[in-house]
Amino acid sequence: MNWLINDRFGMFVHWGPYSLAARHEWVKSREKLTDAQYQPYVDHFSPDLYDPAAWARTARAAGMRYAVLTTKHHDGFCLWDSDLTDYKAPRDLVEPFVAACRAEGLKVGFYHSLIDWHHPEFPLDGTHPQRDVRPIPERDVSVYRRYLHGQVRELLTRYGTVDYLFFDFSYAGRSEWWGGKGPEDWGSEELLAMVRELQPDILVNDRLGIPGDFVTPEQYQPSAPMPGLWEACQTLNGSWGYDRDNLDYKSADLLVKMLVDGVSKGGNLLLNVGPDGRGRIDPRATALLARIGGWMELHERSIRGCGPAEYHPPADCRYTRRGDRLYLHLFSWPLRHVHLDGLAGKVRYAQLLNDASEIRFVSTDPDQEAQNTRMGGQAPGTLTLELPVQRPDVLVPVVELFLE
């Protein structure tokens, strides 16, 4: 099993000058800012509290096992000391990130934007902050393509092993933006070949517009397993970059349910944080991650190394499985009994995962009808578990079933 499937849970980090505007990482496009209007954020990007070791510790404590940093977002600003531009942080911020991940035992990932709203030869399109400029200036995408390939080469040759690469994104033919770009513009085939040559074991996403190693549903949970490896990327509050006044936070239990739901369908969760302009993961994010970490501490067994199970779960439940263990996640807590299709005779022992307290089986005769104090028999093959009335005080209770 490759490490990505095993790990299941990673941290996405969106960070750059837009963190100072603190109103979404697309601020330059949304507000059609010129380079000059965006420049104050670049000039004041001076993250005095940048402590990637703290980020890595936060990720690990949340139960995450890999981290993915925006080396460059759509604004074109580079977090590493590129030789190919001056549009970059005053010091290399990627190197200490990589070192911190390694020290914490996290796999290292880079997000790299294909879109670039600063490069002078990136042709205007419907996403571009200067999309209304007329006449549309002549630009030569091949010059930008060389720059893109050169920068990816830098990123994959300077920091040792890079485990994961998230390109973002291709939009040729997408109706919401004119002038969309795709594999021809990026030189995707050639770029991917170079990536594989420089980092033979790297896992690359699917957003070069040609098949990669995994697909990347964004801000939705697939309703069924996606083809091949997949990883949902999700935000805490709808924004990727630090968004000070946005209070649309998901609850900790919803976030855990999203993680469980993904694993039950064979997928991963890449959960985002947007550190602020000083480099700190803000207290709202930290508090949510700590609660997820509290759950993971007790329930890691039902996530790590787990995948889908062949059984059909009861309503409001999700199964995950690893070897002879089947994990029943109860998104809502029923009164005293839960009936498991097709599991009669297949389970040797059951316990609550949070405290290893035994969960006993109830036997009912399939021919017996429900009547006053007597529960009805269930369809043949059903295993009925007897649950305590008190729901365990954890974000999502889990019953661990030891299969015969």
Residue 25 C-beta: closest distance to ligand GLC, Å: 5
Nearer to ligand GLC, 9 or 240 (CB): 240
Q: Segment 171-230, which members bind ligand GLC (CB under 6 A)?
A: 218
Distances in Å between the Cα of 186 and the Cα atoms of 177, 214, 254 are: 17, 19, 37
Q: With contacts defined by CB under 6 A, how many residues of the chain interact with ligand GLC? A: 8
Q: Segment 50-69, which members bind ligand GLC (CB under 6 A)?
A: none
* The three-state (H, E, C) secondary structure of 204-270, written as one string: EECCCCCCCCEECCECCCCCCCCCCEEEEEECCCCCCCCECCCCCCCCHHHHHHHHHHHHHCCEEEE
Should residue 243 be labelled a site residue for ligand GLC when binding is judged by CB under 6 A? no
Single out the residue of 25, 185, 206, 400 in contact with ligand GLC (rule: CB under 6 A).
Answer: 25
Nearer to ligand GLC, 240 or 295 (CB): 240
What mask of x and - would describe binding to ligand GLC in positions 144 to 173, judged by CB under 6 A?
A: ------------------------xx----
Should residue 75 be labelled a site residue for ligand GLC when binding is judged by CB under 6 A? no
The Cα 14–Cα 221 span in angstroms is 20
Residue 9 C-beta: closest distance to ligand GLC, Å: 16
Single out the residue of 240, 242, 319, 327 in contact with ligand GLC (rule: CB under 6 A).
Answer: 240
Helix spans in 62-175 (H): 94-103, 141-157
Nearer to ligand GLC, 274 or 313 (CB): 274
The Cα 381–Cα 346 span in angstroms is 9
The residues facing 109 across adjacent strands are 68, 164
Nearer to ligand GLC, 27 or 195 (CB): 27
CB atoms within 10 A of CB 47: 20
Nearer to ligand GLC, 155 or 343 (CB): 155
Q: Segment 314-333, which members bind ligand GLC (CB under 6 A)?
A: none
Should residue 45 be labelled a site residue for ligand GLC when binding is judged by CB under 6 A? no
Residue 193 C-beta: closest distance to ligand GLC, Å: 24
Token pair, residue 31, equals: 């507000």
The residues facing 164 across adjacent strands are 109, 203
Helix axis angle for 283-299 and 252-264, nearest 10°, is 50
Nearer to ligand GLC, 20 or 343 (CB): 20
Assign 398 to helix, strand or coil: strand
Cβ neighbours of residue 188 closer than 8 Å, sequence gap 6 or more: 170, 182, 208, 209, 210
| Helix/strand/coil percent split, the chain, to 5 | 25, 20, 50
Nearer to ligand GLC, 177 or 311 (CB): 177
Single out the residue of 67, 108, 233, 288 in contact with ligand GLC (rule: CB under 6 A).
Answer: 233
Nearer to ligand GLC, 26 or 319 (CB): 26
Helix spans in 236-380 (H): 252-264, 283-299
Residue 169 C-beta: closest distance to ligand GLC, Å: 5
Q: Which residues bind ligand GLC (CB under 6 A)?
A: 14, 25-26, 168-169, 218, 233, 240
